[in-house]
Amino acid sequence: MISGSIPALVTPFKDGAVDLDAFAAFVDWQIAEGSTGLVPVGTTGESPTLSHAEHYAVITACVETARKRVPVIAGCGSNDTATAIAHMAHAERVGADAALIVVPYYNKPSQAGLIAHFTALAERSSLPIIIYNIPGRSVADMSTETMAALAQLPTVIGVKDATGNLARVSAQRAACGVDFFQLSGNDDMALGFNAMGGVGASSVTANVAPKLCAQFQAATLAGDFRTALAINDRLYPLHAALFSDASPGPTKYALAKLGHMAPDVRLPICAPSDAARAAVDAALAHAGLT
């Protein structure tokens, strides 16, 4: 089972281009710090602004650098089913371990449309699929009943839940079965999420604090919620600060401050405001990272 601290990786840029050297070094650091999986080219990886060639290059670099030390869950979602199929074909060809498939955004498909979309992907690829339900970005919200129907497909194995509704964990556990794993898509809810049956987080904060996030997840999965709470208290200001301006601007600012990459983002994302940078500075100090 995929579990633990799984960073939703940022994509480094340099002089307007994807910086694959910085990305490979970043992947190595993430693994050395204890991350138990990697998600390249998700939303935090600025996938909407990457060309298909760049998207595929980042997936390939992640797989080649990880070298099966941890699972690579490639971001393959699209609001166009044919494009998502093409993304999955590349990810499968280069050796990714699973695909993260976001609920199609902007189109506002019906529940029947969601079933048809994910079924088409499952029929065209043998790559395991993790549903990414994030209605705050996609507008469409996959119902528990729809998820339960999709969980019957042999390659649909879990969900990254960013609904912000902790009750969904219990509802989906009951509807989809205990072997259908659930990852939190919200760092600030990861403690409660795991207490209710989650097994990890696809995390933004783990980009910046991978060791602490890995220790936090290990504690929750061992049932040591006293230790997890203490770590969560250290990390909570960082969870908030990294979303104090449009993501991943604050995250890249933090990583630049820690010496991992340039802070560059692509439009329409802008560099974080003075207030956001001050919040990140304070949160890094609170967590003991600077």
Question: Catalytic residue numbers?
Answer: 132, 160
Residue 163 to residue 217: CA distance in whole angstroms: 20
Which string of DSSP letters, residue by residue, matches 84-122? Answer: HHHHHHHHHHHT-SEEEEEPPPSS---HHHHHHHHHHHH
Whether the Cβ atoms of residue 42 and residue 75 lie closer than 8 Å to each other? yes
E-state strands within 28-180 = 73-75, 98-102, 129-133, 156-161
Burial 203-221 (b: 16+ CB within 10 A, else e): bbbbbbbbbbbbbbbbbbb
